[in-house]
């Protein structure tokens, strides 16, 4: 989960390691709290990070290296992956699509088994307004992995797979998986409307394109 606060970002990750509590501050204005509120619920990592850190890949990488070297297990295991996913969303929102893709590749290479990283990568690869960033083959591969990691129960990831197949020019599978996404889970009425609009595009052999983002 990530939400934007005034000039800062808050992000959270759940792990299953031991109990500990910590708060730290550094030159990049990162605050961390790791704790296990209930022995049966695993542990939780909360971080608050200033906005400017998420605008530059160099600062993000510096922060990732600090987190990977942290003495606490929860922080080392969970925080780098979560930070990279939050940074990728921020780069995407700023229209820095290549930075978003590179950041998600970094999260995946670190061994992320979170379907969200693969889904984010696939969506950008499939629907980005910048043709230099789109890659239908990689989008299909990443979206398929996201669906496998969530046992094909996440309608958003299946929706992404449909968009990926459309970008790859395989509109038969795009229609098939868009219809499957509509039958999976509990998307809201507005989400179903958007999915049906994309389905209509695929039936006309037209891929979906996101609107350009920017600062």
The domains of the chain are located at 1-112, 117-215
Query: How far apart are the C-alpha atoms of 20 and 5, rounded to whole Å?
Result: 25
Contact assessment for residue 165 and residue 147, using Cβ atoms and an 8 Å cutoff: no
What phi and psi values does residue 201 have, to the nearest 5 degrees? -60, -45
pLDDT for 12 equals 41
Nearest alpha-carbon partner for 104 in 67, 137, 57: 57
Tokens 């934007």 sit at which residue?
4
Tokens 């800062």 sit at which residue?
8
pLDDT in tens, 150-193: 999 999 999 999 999 999 999 999 999 999 999 999 999 999 99
Q: What average pLDDT does this structure show over 99-106? A: 93
41: tokens are: 């619920």
> Into which CATH architecture does domain 117-215 fall?
Alpha Horseshoe (1.25)
Task: Kindly state the helix (H) or strand (E) to which residue 31 belongs, with its residue range.
Answer: strand 30-35
Rg (alpha carbons) of the chain, rounded to whole number:
18
Contact assessment for residue 188 and residue 155, using Cβ atoms and an 8 Å cutoff: no
Q: Strands of 43-50's sheet, edge to edge? A: 2-5, 8-15, 43-50, 30-35
pLDDT for 120 equals 94
Contact assessment for residue 120 and residue 149, using Cβ atoms and an 8 Å cutoff: no
pLDDT in tens, 115-158: 889 999 999 999 999 999 999 999 999 999 999 999 999 999 99
Mean pLDDT score across all residues of the chain: 80
Query: How far apart are the C-alpha atoms of 157 and 162, rounded to whole Å?
Result: 9
Query: How far apart are the C-alpha atoms of 100 and 117, rounded to whole Å?
Result: 11
Bigger pLDDT: 152 vs 16? 152
Sign of the Cα pseudo-torsion (102, 58, 97, 68, in order): positive
pLDDT for 65 equals 76
Q: Is pLDDT at 45 greater than 50 in this prediction?
A: yes
pLDDT for 159 equals 98
């Amino acid at each position: 989960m990530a939400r934007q606060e005034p000039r800062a970002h808050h992000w959270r990750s759940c792990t299953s390691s031991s109990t500990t509590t910590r708060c730290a501050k550094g030159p990049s204005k990162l605050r961390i709290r790791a704790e296990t509120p209930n022995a049966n619920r695993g542990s939780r990592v909360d971080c608050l990070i200033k906005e400017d850190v998420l605008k530059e890949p160099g600062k993000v990488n510096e922060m990732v290296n600090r987190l990977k070297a942290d003495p606490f297990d929860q922080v080392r295991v969970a925080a780098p992956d979560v930070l990279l996913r939050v940074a990728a969303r921020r780069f995407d929102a700023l229209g820095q699509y290549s930075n978003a893709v590179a950041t998600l590749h970094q999260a995946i290479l670190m061994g992320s088994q979170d379907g969200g990283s693969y889904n984010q990568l696939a969506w950008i690869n499939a629907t980005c307004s910048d043709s230099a960033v789109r890659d239908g083959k990689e989008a299909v591969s990443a979206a398929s992995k996201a669906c496998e990691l969530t046992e094909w129960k996440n309608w958003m990831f299946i929706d992404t797979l449909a968009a990926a197949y459309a970008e790859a020019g395989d509109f038969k599978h795009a229609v098939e998986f868009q219809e499957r996404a509509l039958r999976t889970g509990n998307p809201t009425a507005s989400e179903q409307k958007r999915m049906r609009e994309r389905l209509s595009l695929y039936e006309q052999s037209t891929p979906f394109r996101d609107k350009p983002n920017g600062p």
